[in-house]
Amino acid sequence: MSVTAAQGFVAAGVTAGLKTSGRPDVALVVNRGRRKSAAAVFTSNRAKAHPVLWSQQVVGDGIAEAVVLNSGGANCFTGPFGFQTTHATAETVAEALGVSAGDVVVCSTGLIGVGDQVFRDKVLSGSIAAASALTVDGGLDAATAIMTTDTKPKQAVVAGDGWVVGGMAKGAGMLAPGLATMLVVLTTDADVDHGGLDDALHSATRVTFDRLDSDGCMSTNDTVLLLASGESGVVPDAEEFRAAVTELCADLAEQLQADAEGASHDIRIEIVGAASDDDAVEVGRSIARNNLFKAAVFGNDPNWGRVLAAIGTTSAEFDPYDVDVSMNGVRVCHAGAPDRPSDAVDLTARAVHVLVDLRSGGHEATILTNDLTHDYVHENSAYSS
């Protein structure tokens, strides 16, 4: 039940004809609870899609009553018509629900540059249909409707003491910091105000979605939204709530990683012994974005030299000749020199763990990525055809 696991929420997912596949493509999640608190994190890309620009204004006062999402078109770089389409979508949903358009978040995902009258008409008709189909059992339908190249819907729920947080996500490519090419809607029936939501969400995304770096490409439409209905009547401990939201985001981030376009390996890059958190993240991200390393993993080749070459491009504090590297539990490099033989490493399983000890401090970070495959190249070479 993902986004409808929390009391006070209903959802729907319908087919509006935006996708040539005929699959559901418009989703709606509505907060019918006593509280309408909201917080959001958006892409850090300077090229922001019209729905992002609109939604930033909506959540500016910490209140939102609904979020409407479409797949099949990003509504980005579509000119004034595109922003008018976003505004019209919010107004259409608002009229159907009897709320203010200024309290309706709008999210879109799909091909950039799609935004003609046909697109607008389908989004608006789909929004009306979704408003008529709302139900407490509509979470799966909503999670399915926001999929693009995803192969499966992504949902998760974490239970607190008398309250829950639930969520849905989409994303299978362009997974890079500044979130990913993803839309995420999180809901809770805990009684939390905007400040509490904002603190928990930013804390959670910093160590989950922002550390998912599948292909180093940043989207224009990333949105992570957290809504609170207050229907449980429970005011949770701030730390417990923050931990639950982080657990939920970590679960969804790992689902996104596991469904990355064309991937055959899920790679967890763990950096320890860093002089600072920022150093640990920078080093992990450098490895995650190194195509030579990613291609080696695709070929089941434990080429640890590519790991050292990647971290040598960073500004992190460490001595390259005092670094240890382990792959799937085998230390293949010690103090910048060969250790165990590479043929002792088995990379045939989908899960790959790379451990790098910088031996420069007590900080650490983990970055999630995938290998670089023929299927990834093929899928993205034909994405708009």
Residue 176: which pLDDT band, with cuts at 50, 70 and 90?
very low
Place of tokens 């010690």: 334
Query: Could you tell me which residues come within 8 angstroms of residue 184 by beta carbon, excluding any fewer than 6 positions away?
Result: 167, 168, 169, 170, 209, 223, 224, 225, 249, 252
Residue 173 has pLDDT above 90, yes or no: no
Is residue 175's pLDDT more than 50?
A: no
Report residue 247's pLDDT band, with 50, 70 and 90 as the boundaries.
very high
Per-residue model confidence (pLDDT) at position 308: 97
Residue written as token pair 């249909």: 129
| pLDDT reading at 383 higher than 90 | no
Note the pLDDT of residue 374: 79
Domains of the chain: 2-258 (3.60.70.12), 266-381 (3.10.20.340)
Of residues 149 and 175, more confidently modeled: 149
Check if 369 is active-site: no
Can you give the pTM of this predicted structure?
A: 0.92
pLDDT for 315 equals 97
User: Looking at residue 172, what is its pLDDT?
Assistant: 62
**Whole-number pLDDT of residue 203:** 96
Q: What is the pLDDT of residues 344-375, one digit of tens each?
A: 999 999 999 999 999 999 999 999 999 888 77
Predicted confidence (pLDDT) at residue 260 exceeds the cutoff of 80: no
Provide the pLDDT for residue 385: 52
Q: What are residue 215's phi and psi, to 5 degrees?
A: -135, 10
pLDDT tens digits, residue range 291-312? 999 999 999 999 999 999 999 9
| Chain mean pLDDT for the chain | 93
- SS3 sequence, the chain? CHHHCCCCEEEEEECCCCCCCCCCCEEEEEECCCCCEEEEEECCCCCCCHHHHHHHHHHHHCECCEEEEEECECCCCCHHHHHHHHHHHHHHHHHHHCCCHHHEEEEEECCCCCCCHHHHHHHHHHHHHHHHCCECCCHHHHHHHCCCCCCCCEEEEEECCCCEEEEEEECCCCCCCCCCCCEEEEEECCCCCHHHHHHHHHHHHHHCHHHECCCCCCCCCCEEEEEECCCCCCCCCHHHHHHHHHHHHHHHHHHHHHCCCCCCCEEEEEEEEECCHHHHHHHHHHHHCCHHHHHHHHCCCCCHHHHHHHHCCCCCCCCHHHCEEEECCEEEEECCEECCCHHHCCCCCCEEEEEEECCCCCEEEEEEEECCCHHHHHHHHCCCC
**pLDDT above 90: residue 218:** no
List the single range of 9-13, 17-21, 144-148, 378-382 with lowest mean pLDDT: 378-382
Which residue among the candidates 43, 181, 223, 246 is catalytic per the annotation?
Answer: 181
Q: Is the pLDDT of residue 177 over 50?
A: no
pLDDT of 213 over the 90 cut: no
The pLDDT of 25-47, averaged and rounded, is 95
pLDDT of residue 381: 66
What percent of the chain has a predicted confidence (pLDDT) above 70? 96
pLDDT for position 180: 43
- Measured between alpha carbons, how far is 295 from 298 in angstroms, rounded to an integer? 5
Mean pLDDT of 91-107: 98
